[in-house]
Structure 1
């Protein structure tokens, strides 16, 4: 008894063979495309994670200050900033975050609870930052604690993500 292959006409055999080869090629291309997409996605995920981590660190440092902060502390914070925000911080210090903070001897601490990267380009990212913020004024034992959210705009500068702008989330 002969198999089904031998019962086919030569033209039909060629068609079946060609169909099989095309199927294998299509599957190979699909697998290759999937591998490329997964690798590209993991690069994007790594960049999103890096931008989110940089935003959390910069916002925490910028929004944590007190009357006893010295020039070294300000220089450390300034390294996390870029553009107009960096220049403004160099001149005004914590007043950039909380108007009158220096004169009123305000202490603020911030703890970033979560971040969400809203937009990510090669050299720019916009990150939504959720912060647990505590504020106290010298001489007043009360501490106000409140949750806030801010849009953090980051720019890549010198190979690192740096905070370029911090804005309130408006409804």
Structure 2
């Protein structure tokens, strides 16, 4: 009985092997068959294949790092060239600025000299642009003492019409510098911006139209006051311990 059963089992296994479909290309075939006590059980194992080893963590990190390294080196080289070029350009620009005449301007660094210039220019402008019809010689003396070069002709042209009107109206013109700033100071030459208030008081000799005067024949003098602000630039030069006005700029007026 046992022999007959084993014989039948062998025939079934043989038929199973003969009727089993062939494995497709690329598909693994079984390499071993284990049998149990009562039947046969096939265990398939791919030929020449085993569990794939996972890539090491260090390799995964090293590969991107190696690929990034050349790009970083190229970037650093480019930055080095760029910074080197910028440094050369900056040095050339700095040398150019130092060589310009504007670099010699000491208006903001020489405070003592700047204060001296402002004080003398303020007094000069007060005298040069004030006029009293009763003392015309005072303006002429101020022009002789404080003006030099082309400033003398400029001052005469500016004040010619003013003097004529002041004499006609018997006016007194007063100029007072309210603010000044040294724009440029280069050695013995400077340029000063000046702001001033001007007032003109004239005695016209007109009759005052009042009820009191309509009852009398007397004539009363009427004083007319005019006030204005002025701005000008004054170029000065240092000579014999004083700052003399060498040019006047009234900005087109």
- Indicate whether the TM-score tops 0.5: yes
- RMSD, aligned α-carbons: 2.6
- 1:59 maps to 2:128: no
Render the CA deviation track for 1:7-65: whole Å, top value 9, x for unaligned.
xxxxxxxxxxxxxxxxxxxxxxxxxxxxxxxxx99971111111111110110000111
- Kindly tell me: are residues 143 and 54 of structure 1, through their superposed partners in 2, closer, same or farther at Cα, counting changes over 3 Å? same
- 1:142 maps to 2:224: yes
TM-score, scaled to structure 1: 0.63
SS of the residue 1:98 aligns to: helix
Q: Which residue of 1 aligns with 2:174?
A: 109
Matches within 5 A, 1:1-171: 44-71=110-137, 74-86=140-152, 92=156, 96-104=157-165, 105=167, 106-139=171-204, 141-169=223-251
- Kindly tell me: are residues 123 and 41 of structure 1, through their superposed partners in 2, closer, same or farther at Cα, counting changes over 3 Å? closer
In 2, are the aligned partners of 1:52 and 1:115 still within 8 Å (CA)?
yes
Q: Report which of the two has the higher share of strand.
A: 1
Aligned residue-pair number: 126
Deviation at 1:156, TM superposition (A): 1.2
Deviation at 1:99, TM superposition (A): 3.7
In 2, are the aligned partners of 1:116 and 1:127 still within 8 Å (CA)?
yes
Q: Which residue of 2 aligns with 1:11?
A: none
Deviation at 1:72, TM superposition (A): 5.4
CA distance in 1, matches of 2:182, 2:249: 15
Runs of 4+ in 1 over 4 A off after TM superposition: 40-43
TM-score, scaled to structure 2: 0.44
Render the CA deviation track for 1:46-98: whole Å, top value 9, x for unaligned.
11111111110110000111212243552244212211223565xx4xxx443
- Unaligned segments of structure 2, at least 5 residues: 1-105, 205-221
Q: Which has the higher contact order (CA 8 A, sep 6+)?
A: 1
